[in-house]
Amino acid sequence: MFSSSSNRRLTRRAVIGGGAALVVTPFAAWSADGPPPRSAAVGKVRFSQVQVALLWSGSVGGGVLSFGGREHGFTMGGVGYGGIGASRVEAEGEVYGLKTFAEFEGAYAQVRYGAAAGSDSLGELWLQNVQHGGVEIRLQSRREGLALSLGGDAVYIRFD
């Protein structure tokens, strides 16, 4: 028979594994070189966020979407797994598959990697909108702080 503490550990592992699968599943077909090729970018994004991780991670920030000749500010926040340390992330990149501003808002699955030691850094982020699966964001990031980041997150983006 299992003790109640081993049942709790098993339940915790199932929840963690299930959460990880939900975050990573949209990216399962991506190779080590990143997401598959898409049609031409339809917009640009730039944002800043603060990310803190000790195996689990949390981030909060905001930025600007340039789409259809206009700019819209947004806020974002997320939780996930993978990494250790704290860093400020500056990222910019392109948006694919977006047809209307309304499709940009919502929940995203994010895959990330990066490292920072002071102002020396490297990293990339890939996001896919959960409600509008054709909307993807690919970003190059710069970090400041002391951190190693490799994991996935659930991120929510909302217009200001």
Q: For the whole model, what pTM was predicted?
A: 0.74
Residues 44, 104: contact at Cβ < 8 Å? no
Neighbour-count burial for 131-147, b at 16+ CB within 10 Å, e otherwise = ebeebbbbbebbbbbeb
pLDDT at 155 over 90: yes
Q: Which domains does the chain have, with CATH numbers?
A: 4-159 (2.40.128.480)
Over the stretch 122-149, which tens digit does the pLDDT of each residue have? 899 999 999 888 899 999 999 999 999 9
Confidence label for 33 from pLDDT (cuts 50, 70 and 90): low
Q: What's the CA dihedral at 103, 107, 109, 110 to 10 degrees?
A: 90
The predicted-structure confidence for 88-128, as pLDDT tens digits, reads as follows 999 999 999 999 999 999 999 999 999 999 999 989 999 99
Classify burial at 4, counting beta carbons within 10 Å of its beta carbon; exposed 0-12, middle 13-18, buried 19 or more.
exposed
In angstroms, what CA-CA distances link 37 with 1, 29, 42, 129, 143? 51, 12, 14, 17, 26
